[in-house]
Amino acid sequence: MLSLILIVTASFFFTGIIIRTKSILSGRKGPGIFQPMKDIRRLLRKGSVYSETSGFVFKLAPTVYFASVVMAMLFIPFGNQPGLFSFEGDFVFFAYVLALGKFFSIIGALDTGSSFEGMGASREALYSLLAEPAFFLLMGSFALLTGQTSFADIFGTLHFTSQISYAIGALASLVLLAIALIENSRMPLDDPKTHLELTMVHEVMILDNSGFDLGMILQATNLKFAMYGALVANMFLTRGYEIYYSIPIFIGVQFLFALIIGVLESFWARFRMNHNPQFILMITSIALFIFLGVLLMLGKIV
């Protein structure tokens, strides 16, 4: 329960820190940290407008997408405290409940009958498909290293005690950061501020969403960012940390996670479309290096 509360709290300022960091690095004052949440609150108070060409799938998709993210959050542990739901192999369920939400957001975009939204949906599906092996290689490596198969047991047993393990922890943080960028369609794969449909990915998928539906989609993005930040934080919240140490570490990791994203988006140019799959496959290669490092630590290879 504590993990859920902290993730929701972190989501309130996560995107604001990213925007604030980008504003400072570009020499502008920029909006306040809580401005994105004010925008979402304004949207949630409005009604939604639906076109005549869209059906019930388009109306249902934002709710399913938001619900899938909330469901996935319930499996995230906090140090030695498991999430509200925890069972063997729960990280597989975690991945595919997020995939369910992504599937509904894709078919919701297709349901509008817009060729532009269909184009964005195909790109979103491709990038998610290519990013999936990286996540399973990472969590499978941790499961092999710890001998556990649930989030709570994996992170509760995980310890970094050698130079190889420190390298694995750094690479794992990098992989989770990249997956968060891919899943939320951020730079360098997509520019959330662009208005050119031919180069948009996620933003073109939600062009027809408005009001309450759009507010849920935007808040789901904030929650997903904080959720992946929580996974990074859990690698450092091993058993033995008291709660008054764990909470500051969690908050610090979330702040650093958002700060790094803001810095990267300030200095990282957007890739050409044909380079995006290469970038995602590079992340999978890094996850494969983590797997080989785990095999080396376990003495499976010499």
The reported pLDDT for the residue numbered 242 is 65
How many CB atoms neighbour CB 245 within 10 A?
A: 12
- pTM for the full model? 0.90
Inter-CA distances, 254 with 12, 141, 162, 223, 226, Å: 11, 23, 25, 12, 7
Tens of pLDDT, residue by residue over 59-85, are 999 999 999 999 999 999 887 788 889
Give residue-wise pLDDT tens across range 131-163: 999 999 999 999 998 888 889 888 888 877 777
Can you give the pLDDT at residue 298?
80
User: Which stretches does DSSP call E strand in the chain?
Assistant: none
* CA dist., res. 111 & res. 139, Å (int): 34
**Torsion of the alpha carbons at 109, 114, 120 and 121, rounded to the nearest 10:** 40
pLDDT at 197: 65
User: What pLDDT, on the 0 to 100 scale, is given for residue 198?
Assistant: 67
Helix (H, G, I), strand (E, B) or coil at 138: helix
Segments in the chain below pLDDT 50: none
Cα 111 from Cα 51, distance rounded (Å): 10
pLDDT at residue number 79: 74
What pLDDT, in 10s, does the model give residues 99-127? 999 999 999 999 888 888 888 888 888 88
Q: What distance in Å separates the CA atoms of residue 184 and residue 179, rounded to the nearest whole number?
A: 8
- Dist CA 137 CA 142 (whole Å): 9
pLDDT of residue 239: 57
pLDDT of residue 238: 61
Residues 6+ apart with CB under 8 A from 128: 99, 102, 182, 183
Give residue 82's pLDDT: 84
Enumerate the β-bridge partners of residue 81.
Answer: 78
